[in-house]
Structures are given as C-alpha cells and as structure tokens.
Structure 1
Amino acid sequence: MRIVDVKAYAVKQQVDIPFKWRKGLPEGAHLNEMGILRIITDEGIEGIAVAQRGLMTVDYTERRLKEMLIGKNPLLKEQLWHEIWELDRAEEFQIYYMGLADTALWDITAKKAGMPLYQLLGGSRNRVQAYASTVTYNTTEEYCRVADYCLEQGYKAIKLHAWGDMKADAKLCADLRKHVGDDVILMYDGSAGFNLQESIYLGKALEQAGYHWYEEPMREFSIWNYKKLCDELTIPVLAAETSDGCHYNAADFIVHGACDIIRTGTVLKGGITGSLRIAHMADCFGMKAEIHGGDQANVQLACGINNNTFFEVLVWGTGPIGFGYPVESDGFITAPQGPGIGYSFDWEEIERKAYAKA
C-alpha cells in the first residue's frame, strides 16, 4: 500500500451561539472553522483527520505533509510519526499538528483491518461515560440552570470552566456543590489562570467541596510548581493538557510527582500514537489517563484503553456542540462501529465549500 495523494481543506462551520472563557482568554471563535486532512492510498482507502485551524491545516499540508507522505507506506505509522517529530525541531509545529497525520494513518490502518479503531487499539469497551464540560457563564444561577439541564440529559458528572478569580471561583464551586448535592461528580478546570499561591487556595476550597479533580490551574511549563501544588493538596491534580512534547513531556510530569492524573488525547498529544504512549505509560504507574474533549478519534481512543474514566463533551447553554455524538440516556457515548475512526464527509460539498485547499 502506498500514499498517492494528500489533500487539505479549510472550511467554515456554523456556530450560532457564541460563548466565552475566563477573563483573558478569547471567545470560542476558533470553532467557526475546521481543517480537514485527507490521505489517499493506491488501494482506495482514505484516512481522515480534523483540526481546529483551517488555514494552518492547508499551510502545513502544502509545505510539509504532501512531500513527506506521498509514496510512503501508510501502515508504517511509527516511522512516519518519528519523521514528523524530527521535522518539528525546525518547523515547531503548532500543537494541533504533531499528530494530525498520525490520526489519519490510524484511520487507514483500521479500515484496512476492517474494524473500528478502538478494537484495533486493544478494545477495552465500546462505550464511555461522558461528562458535561461547561463554558463560562456570568452568574452562579446560570451555572446551576445548566447543571440541572445536564443532569436531566443523563450526565452524571459536570466540569466547570469559571471566571479565573480564586475567591469567586471557590464560592461558585461550593455553591454548585450545595445545589446538586453530594452524589453528582464535579470537577473544576482552571484553564491555567492562576499562580501557585492562588492555585493552592482554590485547591483547598475544592477539597472541602468534594470535587473529583482539579485541572490545569497553572500554565504547564513549570513542573516544579505543579509538584509543589500536588504536595500541598489531597484533591487529584490533572495536568499536562497543553504542554508541548507529547509523551516525552508527560513522562516528566509523572516521574516528578507533578500530577495525580495525566491528560492525553489525539488533538494535543501527538495523535493516536502519542496518546497511546501516554495512556500506557500512566497505566504502568497505576495512574488514570483522562482524555481531553474532542471528536470521533478521541471517542475511539477512550474505548480502546482501560485507564480512562470519562469523555469530555463541551456544553453551552442547554445544548452540546454538534460533534455528532448525542449522549445516551444513561450518560454514555458509544463509539462508531464501522471500520476506521468514523469520520464521514461529502467530498464534493467540501471541495465546493472550502475557502482554502492544498
């Protein structure tokens, strides 16, 4: 099998409801665009992967990926992953792109094998429990209304993205715990909005409110600060979501005691290959590897490993973003059961609608 063509498309998506993050972060406008990578083989099997940046996808494909991939055997994923890793030394790929081609190559491999990707990865289960991951709202009352909606939809767990103010966020988390009661799993994501002292203060408040985990309160470039945070708290700290370096960086977080739960996921951790390495490494330490939110590829990953608990679904208002994954009545998501990852596009329509192509 050989790769005969590599295509990329930048397309617009219709996102009707704007939302915001904590103070200092831009609104979610990036969700209005999507990049699609399409790897075509001489056997007619195609691999697909998607990114959140349209023009970047076209640029990287045109300048680097076409030349690197055409003529290669797509089943030699390990070789190609390391070629991209080597190229990153000079290119400094934006973090979404370290694993984009790798995800498409795994799609080809699973289609060649005639099975859904999660089974090819080992197959731990065919469905995974979802949690509702909020955007940022203006008032506690809004958070409580959204939490009620999520529970009505079948979610058993909710994660907050709040305001980036340690005292206000601490009070919000306590108030929401009182509102939903002790049986609902609650998590908090700091979106890297705090320094060490503020992170400790907020972490202790989350401990008192019985939160399940404490995610990314600080930027993830100081492993030493994360170690000090973990030493101060009993609540599990989830880290290494946006730190560069794939599994090589995640290894440092684990061995230095700078997290209690590690982040993995195809979008930010080097595709399927990088994500699997993080999950398997964490399992060697008896640690959970929780998957960052995403689309079909991450659902397949979540069902392919045994040390992941949840799948993140971003919610705004009273509805989820349309990743094509309705949450079932018991709060679970089932992985696509056809061969490959499960992406499906009308290529004639994509060719027509794309505002940039490679």
Structure 2
Amino acid sequence: MAPVRIAEARVIVCSPDRNFVTLKLTTDDGTVGWGDGTLNGRELAVASYLTDHLSPLLVGREAGRIEDTWQYLYRGAYWRGGPVGMTALGAVDTALWDIKAKRAGVPLYELLGGRSRDGIRVYGHATGATIPDTVADTRRLMEAGFSAIRIQTDTPGTQGAYGVSVPGQVYDPSAGGHLPQETVWHTPSYLRHTPTLFEAVREELGWELDLLHDVHHRLSPREAAQLGRSVERFNPFWLEDPTPAEDQTAYRYIRAQTTAPLATGEVLNSIWGVQTLITERLVDYVRATVVHAGGVTHLRRIFDLAHLYGVRTGSHGATDLSPVSLAAALHLDLAIPNFGIQEYMAHTALTDRVFPHGYRFADGYLHPADEPGLGVHLDEDLAAHHPYERAYLPVARLRDGTVHDW
C-alpha cells in the first residue's frame, strides 16, 4: 500500500449522559481513525492538549508510522508522562491503529497477532444500598450470563459509598455542578462490613461465581492486609486497588500478609509506573487501560512485560471510557497470551447511539467486531446535540474533615 498522510485532526467533546473526548484523524485518502481521549473529570485538559499541542504536529505526518509517531510525541515533549499527556497520546495511537487496520481491510486484532481465544471474559458490577440489595443485583447479573461479578455495597457509618448506584440508574460517580460532591469515609466500619458482604453472596449464590471487589485506594498497607486476610476464606477473584497504586513498594507488605489476589494499575499510565509491581510479582492482575496508558502501542508493552512475570491482565473498562476505548481494549484482549479478564459496564442507550459499534456481549463474554479497524464510529451530528457538561468526581473526607482517598 502506498503511504498516506494525516490531512486533518479534529477533537470532539460531547456528553451523551456523560463527557467523552474523541480524536478523529482523517488521512489524505479519506480513511478515518478514531481515538478515545477521555480523562474522567479532567476532559477539557486533554482536549486542549490534543487541539493546541498535538494536532499541529500530526497534520502531514505519515499515518502508518505508528511507533515513530508515538516516540516523537512522547520523547519530543520533554515534560512527558502524566495522565493528561498519556491520555492524549493514547487517543492518537489508537486512531492510527484504527487507520492502519482499515487500510489493511482487517479487524485490528489481526494486526496484533490474531486471535488467542474465541471470546473475552468480562465481569459486571453488582451494587446495592444494603447487602441484600447487592445479593439481588448479583443474582440479576448471573441470570444475564456473567460468571464474574464485582460486588460493592453501602457501608454503615459512611456517606456516599463508592461503587453504589441509584436504583434503576447506571452507576456514574461524576456529578455535574460547580464543585465536587463530598462524601464521608470511615475505615473501621468498612473493614467490619466488607467480609459480611462476601459471606452473604457466597451463602446465597454459591462458590462457582468469581467475586471481585474494589477498595479504591482507601486503605493503608496494614489495613489492606487485614481486609485481604478477612476475605481469603471466600476465595475472591481479586481485591482491586487495596492501597494507593502510586506506592508500588507498599504492595510488598500486603503481598506478604495475605493470599488474596491483588489487582491495580488503572491510574498508572506507563510501563515504568507498573514496573516494580510486575517484576516483583506484587500483583496478580495489571489494570492499565488503552486510553490512559498511551494507546495500543504502549499498553501492549506493559502486557508483554507482565507476561514475562506471570501477571495477567484485567483492564479498566467502566463507562468513564467511551466505546472507542473499549473496542480497542477488546482487540488487544483477544490477541495477547496473558489475558485475565476485562471489566465491562454497558453504556447507556444514548451513548451507544452516539458511538455505534459492532462488539457484542453474550453469555459472559464480549466479542469484538469483525469489520476492518476498531469496529466503532462516532455519529458527529448526534454528538453535536450533546455538548460538554461540567462534572467532577467526588471528594472523600474522614469524619473529622480530613481529605481522604475517594
């Protein structure tokens, strides 16, 4: 194929029920590539970085030189890394892979080595204000075909628990308004309550179901070890983000104190950010994402490193990422040898109309589209009817008012 060059780079910010940043790259032969640049609660920072800094560098570049473009944008920035820069780079990289696969006439996974499996096992989210509510929601997801489910519930003694949805609504912690919602956290109550959640789900629904739980960075290493030991007997699939992920060496202590499987990495955005976690085998699953870890190119490097050390993947896939990002993740999930599991929260019907896609869910598995490229698009006319709306993630405080990890 003759090389093509990028003729136009356009950034689209829309809010079909929540905010998304999308990069559209168009080549001089008319091929369009899509990339997700959404950074929850900081969307406009990425949009500006893409529009003001990266787009002028992209127009005129050869679209097929993906690795060279990645290095050019990463190393050339000097002030490299960080969530804003890596998310913007992830959008560019994903769009370039979309273009390359479309021009080759194959689904993206074919360019990544082809299928390593027939489908991508996913886990769903069960929530509830009470433990019986979460048990009922877990049962609903089992009946829908999920064999792995993340369980979260409100904790007595706290206000505004993470991961608990309003009945009948899709969970979305982002809140519109001028200031973030403030919640109240109490660690002792949580440490007492969470084992009873696992116990209730096991008693009601049995032991064939894989159970996951997200701590959301809220515990110290000692507290995380205490939680791990208290739920070991319920055979959790993993405990996610038991302590702030930036402190990689803290996982040495947790690892030495509990056999509960550990997962982290959604807030880490480079191979150097997860290097210690992987090479010392401090986690069982790495949760880095296509969009926040620099795109398909860089995330593949992270997953290849993880493979060398027996660490499996479990990429973040909540609705704070657009269908463009989920589609890209599925192609990578399908190709790599050390795939573990993929998070999956269905987007709203409106979001699916704005981002028509070919991936599909069946019997606990997702299957990527078989059309060339990512298999996802953006309806620009419909997106224009849903402009950006300011929204922030919550802020947590302890009972005495001290700011805590949310």
Separation (CA, whole Å) in 2 of partners of 1:172 and 1:306: 33
What residue is the counterpart of 1:5 in the other structure?
A: 8
What residue is the counterpart of 2:244 in the other structure?
A: 219
**1:183–1:265 distance in 2 versus 1, CA, 3 Å:** same
Q: Which runs of 5+ in 2 are unaligned?
A: 154-160, 162-186, 390-406
What residue is the counterpart of 2:20 in the other structure?
A: 34
Q: Is the 8 A contact 1:35 1:52 kept in 2?
A: yes
Equivalent residue letter for 2:53: R
What residue is the counterpart of 1:335 in the other structure?
A: 368
Q: Is the 8 A contact 2:138 2:151 kept in 1?
A: no
What residue is the counterpart of 1:155 in the other structure?
A: 146
- TM-score normalized with structure 2 length: 0.76
Shift of 1:96: 2.9
**1:312–1:349 distance in 2 versus 1, CA, 3 Å:** same
Shift of 1:161: 3.8
Q: Is the 8 A contact 1:230 1:257 kept in 2?
A: no
Q: Is the 8 A contact 1:227 1:257 kept in 2?
A: no
Q: Which runs of 5+ in 1 are unaligned?
A: 15-31
Q: Is the 8 A contact 1:37 1:48 kept in 2?
A: yes
What residue is the counterpart of 2:203 in the other structure?
A: 178
Shift of 1:327: 2.3
- SS of the residue aligned with 2:287? strand
Shift of 1:58: 2.9
**1:89–1:130 distance in 2 versus 1, CA, 3 Å:** same
**1:260–1:42 distance in 2 versus 1, CA, 3 Å:** same
What residue is the counterpart of 2:179 in the other structure?
A: none
Does 2:339 align with 1:305?
no
203-212 or 166-175: bigger deviation:
166-175
Does 2:345 align with 1:314?
yes
What residue is the counterpart of 1:74 in the other structure?
A: 63
What do the CA deviations read for 1:20-76 (whole angstroms, capped 9, x no partner)? xxxxxxxxxxxx111110011112111101233553343122211111211111211
165-174 or 270-279: bigger deviation:
165-174
How many residues get paired? 335
Separation (CA, whole Å) in 2 of partners of 1:45 and 1:351: 22
**Aligned-pair Cα RMSD in Å:** 2.5
Separation (CA, whole Å) in 2 of partners of 1:55 and 1:233: 41
What residue is the counterpart of 2:35 in the other structure?
A: 49
Q: Is the 8 A contact 2:219 2:243 kept in 1?
A: yes
Equivalent residue letter for 2:99: I
What residue is the counterpart of 1:116 in the other structure?
A: 107
In the TM superposition, 1:1-358 aligns within 5 A as 1-14=4-17, 32-53=18-39, 54-87=43-76, 89-90=78-79, 92-94=82-84, 96-123=87-114, 124-134=116-126, 136-162=127-153, 163=161, 165-244=190-269, 246-293=270-317, 295-314=326-345, 326-328=360-362, 330-351=363-384, 354=387
What do the CA deviations read for 1:130-183 (whole angstroms, capped 9, x no partner)? 21134x532111111110110010111101244562221222122222221111
- SS of the residue aligned with 1:59? helix
Shift of 1:326: 4.7
Shift of 1:2: 0.6
Separation (CA, whole Å) in 1 of partners of 2:371 and 2:273: 34
**1:75–1:161 distance in 2 versus 1, CA, 3 Å:** farther
Shift of 1:89: 4.1
What do the CA deviations read for 1:182-212 (whole angstroms, capped 9, x no partner)? 1111111111111111101111122111111
Q: Is the 8 A contact 1:216 1:239 kept in 2?
A: yes
Shift of 1:77: 1.1
Separation (CA, whole Å) in 2 of partners of 1:210 and 1:355: 42
Separation (CA, whole Å) in 1 of partners of 2:31 and 2:203: 53
Structure number having the greater helix percentage: 1
Separation (CA, whole Å) in 2 of partners of 1:57 and 1:223: 26
Separation (CA, whole Å) in 1 of partners of 2:110 and 2:223: 43
Separation (CA, whole Å) in 2 of partners of 1:220 and 1:147: 27
Separation (CA, whole Å) in 2 of partners of 1:174 and 1:74: 53
**1:149–1:270 distance in 2 versus 1, CA, 3 Å:** same
Separation (CA, whole Å) in 2 of partners of 1:355 and 1:140: 36
Q: Is the 8 A contact 2:22 2:91 kept in 1?
A: no
Equivalent residue letter for 1:85: Y
Equivalent residue letter for 1:41: T
- TM-score normalized with structure 1 length: 0.86
What residue is the counterpart of 2:397 in the other structure?
A: none
